[in-house]
């Protein structure tokens, strides 16, 4: 691993630890990440707009020893479902909208919405 990738991976592991090691579930596995959840309105419903949650996540691709976090380097992709439990609920399913990989390959950014459509 390059020095930059190693440094970023180490920093992401430290941030995850500082946040209490949050994880999400995908493809029958549990993966570490740095979450940010916000409420937003997307659709007009009876009596007003329907509130949904948006999950923005930073997900590292490597462990401290340089091994891949994801088995076979197969990553989540748009339209797939992940589940995140933030401690305030029993776990909320999110549908992935976009994923962007960092230029040096150390992490990816994932954006997902908590829509019940298609689940």
Q: Which helix (H) or strand (E) holds 26?
A: strand 23-26
Give pLDDT, residue 89. Answer: 65
Give pLDDT, residue 115. Answer: 65
Give pLDDT, residue 43. Answer: 66
Please check the confidence at residue 118 and state whether its pLDDT lies above 60: no
Residue among 117, 119, 118, 114 at smallest CA distance from 41: 114
Q: What is the pLDDT of residues 58-76, one digit of tens each?
A: 999 999 999 999 998 899 9
Count of helices and strands (H, E) across the chain = 1, 7
Give pLDDT, residue 80. Answer: 96
Q: Considering the entire predicted model, what is its pTM? A: 0.85
33-42, 75-84, 96-105, 107-116: the lowest-pLDDT one? 33-42
Q: 21 with 31: CB under 8 angstroms? A: no
Give pLDDT, residue 119. Answer: 45
CA distance 109 to 107: 7
Q: What is the pLDDT of residues 3-61, one digit of tens each?
A: 999 999 999 999 999 999 999 999 999 999 999 988 766 666 777 776 778 999 999 99
Q: What is the largest CA-CA distance in the chain?
A: 54
């Amino acid at each position: 691993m390059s020095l930059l990738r190693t440094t970023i991976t180490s920093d992401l592991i430290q941030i995850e630890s500082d946040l209490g090691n949050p994880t999400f579930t995908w493809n029958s596995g549990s993966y570490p990440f740095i979450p940010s959840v916000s409420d937003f309105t997307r659709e007009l419903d009876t009596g007003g707009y329907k509130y949904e949650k948006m999950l923005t996540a930073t997900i590292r691709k490597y462990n401290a020893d340089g091994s891949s976090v994801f088995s076979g380097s197969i990553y989540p992709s748009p339209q797939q479902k992940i589940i995140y439990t933030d401690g305030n609920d029993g776990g909320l399913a999110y549908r992935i909208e976009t994923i962007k990989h960092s230029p040096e390959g150390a992490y990816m950014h994932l954006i997902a919405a908590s829509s019940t459509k298609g689940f």
